[in-house]
Structure 1
Amino acid sequence: MSAEPDSKLAWIDAYLAQLRDQRQLSPHTVAAYARDLQELAELSAGQDWPQLDHFAIRRLTAKLHSRQLDPRSIARKLSSWRGFFEWLSGQITLSSNPVQGVRAPKQARTLPRALSVDDAVRLVAPSTPHAGAAPEAAGLCNRAMFELLYSSGLRVSELAGLDLTAGKGALGWVALENHEVVVTGKGNKQRIVPVGQAAMDALAAWIAVRPAPADGGNALFLSSRGTRVSPRVIQQRLQAHGVASGAPVHVHPHMLRHSFASHVLQSSGDLRAVQEMLGHSSISSTQVYTALDFQHLAEVYDKAHPRAKIK
């Protein structure tokens, strides 16, 4: 065995050489490891590697967090440090891997962006044609899609996959007589979701002028070429419509899904029903909308309560 490196940085160089020459990691990956380990050496200045214990690493992690470093970046650094100490334990005597069991701070959960009830209704409701509006048939198709996204909280992929009627191999369809839509969501799980009257009216108007699909299929919503519309095209159409109609924020299909969930929850308080309609396998995925609901209540309180304005 070659002579041991005589400094902390030399051990890092030896580890990086092993990553590069033996594990053959990419130069980009090796450079990322180098940055993370250089930072560890700087943060632990005055202590040799064997002196760093679990509590020292936790203190260094807290220091990174105090610098407002993103939790995901801290997690990546900890992963780099953990791998280094695992390798180092085979080179010198360490009591344990000091990074083992140290976790990054939890990532702050970002609430999904939802439109207000008024903004959502204004976005999907019929309006006077604006400059650059789609031709009549395409406009009816767009309105039916947007109304259905908001009415039933569908994922854009579920919307794109709808057929006009049930049939062999159909992933989803609209049951007009029952005011329902049948969709196949994640994990190939099928569910039935109610459709509101405004969306039913928009669907009826579109179906009345819907041309036969160019490919002979049964797709409910069509592209300009007469084939099944793609999720990307739906996204582009909704974004363009939002800009043209003066929506207050950048609008995308998932925002209408969030708006559906938060507005139904605000009105009903039934978290389990919202879970079923969204097709969430776990209610924990749906509970984020309780935070949206409280956010709405807090805004009402701040605007209405005379004591709320006193800071």
Structure 2
Amino acid sequence: MENVMNQPRKRPAWNSGKLVGQKAPLKLKEIWAIRLRLQLAEDVRKLALFDLAIDSKLRACDLVRLHVRDVTHGAQIAPRARVIQRKTRRPVQFEISPSTRDALTAWIASRRLPPDAYLFPSRQHDGAHLSTRQYARIVKGWVRSIGLGEPSYGTHSMRRTKASLIYQRTKNLRAVQLLLGHTKIESTVRYLGVEVDDALIMAEQTDV
């Protein structure tokens, strides 16, 4: 009995009671629903963060560490940017759409951020960037605001959203692989959740 009492208790699994797996990407109508709410609220910070998260397709750890100089060319927001991914140490490029450039311009001007400053400074710690935990809470707020189930969405939803839309329109896995910065096409296949049904639909649409 004493041996049993002295045994350390097993900790519950980290995912006990939680829904795990791939996070769902946002649909176009959901993107615009969140964007409209941010515009009406005149929240220039979150609008810039939201738009750049969609365009960049970056992991949360890379997005929050961006500096102003990473997205600017001189005094202007650049149409394209290039960063080194923390996970793979490989470069990845992304486009910055006109609407995102407008949002970033308004945000940078509102805070008068210099080129060497973090693009999204932390509001809790001077000199630090927005943390991935803080970013995750912001994403949950966006999802909640339009009535989506929080467990199904997260920061990876932002990374997957535009990549998924591009794949749906083009079925070009190689292009999506490059945009996500994946080293292997198999990673892109798993990330997008490409299934046999996708292959069959493409086959059915191909006449020979």
TM-score by length of 2: 0.72
Give ranges in structure 2 of 5+ residues lacking alignment: 1-5, 11-20, 202-208
Residue-by-residue CA offset, 1:178-224 (whole Å, 9 max, x unaligned): 411222212221221112222112111111112458xx952111122
Query: Structure 2 residue aligned with 1:266, among 163, 168, 190?
Result: 168
Match of 2:148 among 248, 255, 267: 248
Question: Which of 102, 106, 111 does residue 210 from structure 1 map onto?
Answer: 111
Distance 1:293 1:144, change over 3 A: farther
Structure 1 position 128 matched with structure 2 position 29: no
Equivalent residue for 1:291, pick from 185, 189, 194: 194
| Cα deviation 1:225-256 (Å, max 9, x = unaligned) | 4532111111112212332x224222422111
Structure 2 residue matching 1:291: 3-state secondary structure: coil
> What is the 5 A alignment of 1:1-311?
27=7, 111-125=22-36, 126-129=38-41, 139-165=43-69, 173-175=70-72, 176=76, 178-185=78-85, 186-212=87-113, 218-225=117-124, 226-227=126-127, 228-243=129-144, 245-250=145-150, 251-288=153-190, 289=192, 291=194, 294=197
Aligned length: 177
Contact 2:56–2:95 under 8 Å retained in 1: yes
Would you say the 8 A contact 2:30–2:146 is kept in 1? no
- Distance change >3 Å, CA 177–CA 292, structure 1 → 2: farther
Alpha-carbon separation, structure 1, partners of 2:197 and 2:39 = 32
Q: How far apart, CA to CA, are the structure 1 residues paired with 2:40 and 2:93?
A: 33
In structure 1, the residue matched to 2:17 is none
Report the Cα distance in structure 1 between the residues aligned to 2:116 and 2:59, rounded to whole angstroms.
Answer: 21
CA contact (8 A) 1:152 1:196 kept: no
| In 1: Cα distance, 2:95 partner to 2:45 partner | 20
Greater RCO, 1 or 2 (C-alpha within 8 Å, sep 6+): 2
Counterpart of 1:84 in structure 2 is none
Instruction: In structure 1, list runs of 5 or more residues that go unmatched.
Output: 1-25, 32-109, 130-135, 166-172, 299-311
Give the conservation status (yes or no) of the 8 Å contact 1:151–1:196: yes
Task: State the alpha-carbon separation in 1 of the partners of residues 100 and 148 from structure 2.
Answer: 22
Counterpart code for 1:189: R
TM-score (norm 1): 0.50
Please identify the structure whose Cα radius of gyration is greater: 1
Q: Secondary structure at the match of 1:192?
A: strand
**Structure 2: how far apart are the matches of 1:179 and 1:292?**
33
Identity %: 26
Residues 67 and 118 in structure 2, CA contact (< 8 A), matched pair in contact too: yes
Q: For structure 1, which segment, 219-228 or 139-148, has the greater mean C-alpha deviation from structure 2 after superposition?
A: 219-228
Query: What SS is found at the alignment partner of 1:183?
Result: strand
Q: How many angstroms does 1:124 deviate by?
A: 3.2
| Partner Cα distance (2:146, 2:77) in 1 | 34
Change (3 A) 1:127 1:220: closer
Q: What is the deviation of 1:120?
A: 2.3
